Amino acid sequence: MRASFRLGRVAGVPVGVNWSVLVIFALIAWGLAARQFPRAYPGEPLWAYVLAGLAAAVVFFAGLLAHEVAHAVVARRNGLGVEGITLWLFGGVSELKGEAPDPGAELRIAGIGPLVSLIIGVLFGGAAVALALTGQRGLPVGALSWLAGINLLLAIFNVLPAAPLDGGRLLRAAVWKATGDRTRASVVAARAGWVLGALLIGLGLWQFLVGAGIGGLWLVLIGWFLIGAATMEERQARVGSALRGVRVADVMTPQPQTASAEMTVGDFVDHYLFAYRHSALPLTEDGQPVGLVTLDRVRHVAADRRGATTLAEVACRADELVLAQPEEPLTDLLPRLSECADGRALVVVDGRLVGIVSPSDISRAVQRSSMREQLAAPR
């Protein structure tokens, strides 16, 4: 999940926000300010409901951020790198480099997030009770109670034993510990996620048909997301198992042909298109990558604009490039390949381009690994 804009750093971890957060933020603030708070606490001025709704929504997302920061901090303490944190429609995502080294680390990294949400919920609940004991019965108590409930619900939902939820990671740690097989554990957790997603879709459709309205559709959307994410996790687990021990240098195309960012699309079509056998062309300056252009990007440039459009204008920009080191495990690179829409990674040494990794390179590596296992299997 790519961030639409950056908020800064928390505990040394870059934090970004995807535009979809604005949708759920608006829905939460509107639901509280226009419906829940006026029904529970009638007679307050409109500005008070709006202020309470906005404040509760902001604090809710601060709690989500704390949840993800906890994952990131514990992951770093267990030897994993952290690319960043992105808040989006369904919560937050901590972008970790690599995998937990053992079931214990997996347990600690996965478990800390729900634990933080639980603590936040208990603290807000305690604050709401304390205010109520002093005789307060208005919006402050309502906002604190809602924050307590939503954080407790977040903690409970996240420990459900199904990938990609934190509970799925806990299940994977347990199965991994019991069987000693990381791939098998990942598949079990992913299939549990598929089952949970299907159940949520069924429940959501039933609620919608009996008149529950948008709440049922929201469950359907969550279930659809869980099924998609679980299916992807199972696929990644199987591919990761096949590629374990393979380095980036083992699969990359070394010393790829490059072009200048200042070259026009017209020149590229006339001089490179048929002479170059690959579908992606790195752009370099003094040997350092500054962009990546693909045939798909070039195809969208109108013929009458090709002479005035440079490759830099249509390329994947330097800050969007996925960079890798030759000695880096290929399994660490795979999750990052989706960061650029072109699905390629540029391999660099001391900042200079030495190779490129494409989806076809990955496919060939998987095929070779599978063939090697078949040949090595006893007959």
Residue 352 β-bridge partners:
349
Residue 114 β-bridge partners:
none
Q: How far is CA 333 from CA 3, 76, 83, 238, 366, in A?
A: 19, 18, 12, 15, 14
Which pairs from 302-306 meet CB under 8 Å and 24+ separation? Answer: 305/265, 306/264, 306/265, 306/266, 306/269
SS3 category, 291: strand
Would you state the structure tokens that stand for residue 85, as one six-digit string? Answer: 């944190």
Closest CA to 189 of 152, 160, 162, 221: 162
**Residue spans of alpha helices (H) in 44-138:** 46-77, 103-133
Burial pattern 317-350, b for ≥16 Cβ within 10 A else e, equals ebeebbebeeebbbbbbbbebebbebbbbbbbee
- Of the residues 44, 68, 233, 313, only one is catalytic, namely 68
- Cis bond before residue 45 (omega within 30° of 0): no
Say if residue 166 carries a ligand binding annotation: yes
Contact 234, 187 (CB under 8 A): yes
Say if residue 300 carries a ligand binding annotation: no
Is 285 assigned a catalytic role?
Answer: no
Contact 329, 247 (CB under 8 A): yes
Closest CA to 339 of 76, 84, 98, 39: 84
Closest CA to 197 of 238, 157, 154, 239: 157
Binding site residues, as ranges? 67, 71, 166
Binding site residues for Zn(2+), as ranges? 67, 71, 166
* Active site positions, annotated: 68
